[in-house]
Structure 1
């Protein structure tokens, strides 16, 4: 698989990994530790890492479709926020994996999580503000592309719906992942890998 093909595939495999995490989580009512906890968080970690090329691909498309320096700067800001969010969720998933590995029961996990949350700056960076940047950056990029008429207007709405259902309950994470898949998967073939945009401004992909 070439680098370009891999980047394009990330638009589908990233949301699918997040959907898999949500489905695995539903099979684990105790929420760790154990195989389901580890497997689910490996799926989450894989999914969020795959969103790094998604953010960069959306930025490339937005820059290529941009109509001025301000628009290009906006795309860069959206990608930066999104990548900071990717880093935060990556850290969170990694911590969750390590805690699950080091614990013999849920009580031990809770004790370890309490110690981690007590560390200065960890809670906002990794568990509250940081992860929000993932969604903010993604929404800014997809919203900008819709405003530039490079993609259909309903795609940002699907992203908003995916974020909303996931925020309501993690049990709805599979629905959120599928909404992300609906919005993003077809865009993988449209991300510009060169300075020339492959989708014209009037496209409604």
Structure 2
């Protein structure tokens, strides 16, 4: 398996690790601050790096000149940046806060800054999932992914709206969706680069 193929495995695993740690952190009905809060968020931030690398590989598989793939990559990267700011702020507030109430106050202070709520909480993070859906749909159209792959990515994007406790299940869905890409050979990637 190539290093780009591993990105499709590592990213969902780190996403799932965040989800599991988040559930464990909430067993006492209070999430953060503390080791679990920080560790979970760092898992998610590390996962974003592998997701973005995977998005770049998907764009390459579709062909560097493919407009849909370029749009998907751009949307996914913008969404990943928004999530990086959001989760980075959560890590910082968790490290600065003495207790949960203090952390909530610091988080509210950040969220109340002009444009922050819209860019880093409401709209920006959704682009991460929109980009994934566009990329997987494009690869399905090019017969590089089965039809169920974009369906699983779409289902994962909807899960947090029901409950964030479904994040580990969403991570499993992403593992299944990206499994065909994880098995892609470097020869396939080279051939797509020349297209």
Question: Quick check: TM above 0.5?
Answer: yes
Deviation at 1:167, TM superposition (A): 2.5
Match of 1:157 in 2: 151
Contact 2:153 2:173 in 1 (8 A): yes
Match of 1:201 in 2: none
Structure 1 length normalisation: TM-score? Answer: 0.86
Quick one: distance in 1 between partners of 2:173 and 2:144?
A: 19
1:20 has 2:17 as partner: yes
Deviation at 1:76, TM superposition (A): 0.5
Structure 2 residue runs of 5 or longer lacking an equivalent are none
Quick one: distance in 1 between partners of 2:82 and 2:159?
A: 20
Structure 1 residue runs of 5 or longer lacking an equivalent are 199-205
Question: Which of structure 1's runs of 4+ aligned residues deviate more than 6 A?
Answer: none
Q: Deviations along 1:96-150, whole A, 9 cap, x unmatched?
A: 1000000011100111011101111111111111100000000000011112222
Match of 1:203 in 2: none
Contact 1:49 1:90 in 2 (8 A): no
Contact 1:19 1:177 in 2 (8 A): yes
Quick one: distance in 2 between partners of 1:155 and 1:101?
A: 38
1:130 has 2:133 as partner: no
Deviation at 1:48, TM superposition (A): 1.3
Quick one: distance in 2 between partners of 1:45 and 1:167?
A: 20
> Which secondary structure does the structure 1 equivalent of 2:192 belong to?
coil
Quick one: distance in 1 between partners of 2:122 and 2:4?
A: 28
Contact 1:45 1:90 in 2 (8 A): yes
Residues 50-69 of structure 1 correspond to what in structure 2 (within 5 A)? 50-63=50-63
Size of the alignment, in residue pairs?
A: 188
Contact 1:165 1:173 in 2 (8 A): yes
Quick one: distance in 1 between partners of 2:117 and 2:171?
A: 24
Query: 1:116 is matched with which residue: 110, 116, 129?
Result: 110
1:146 has 2:144 as partner: no
Range 126-135 or range 4-13, more displaced? 4-13
Q: Deviations along 1:60-105, whole A, 9 cap, x unmatched?
A: 11116xxxx6xx1111111100111111111111111000000011
Q: Which has the higher helix share?
A: 2
> Which secondary structure does the structure 1 equivalent of 2:25 belong to?
coil
Contact 2:145 2:180 in 1 (8 A): no
Quick one: distance in 2 between partners of 1:44 and 1:16?
A: 9
RMSD: 1.7
Match of 1:10 in 2: 7
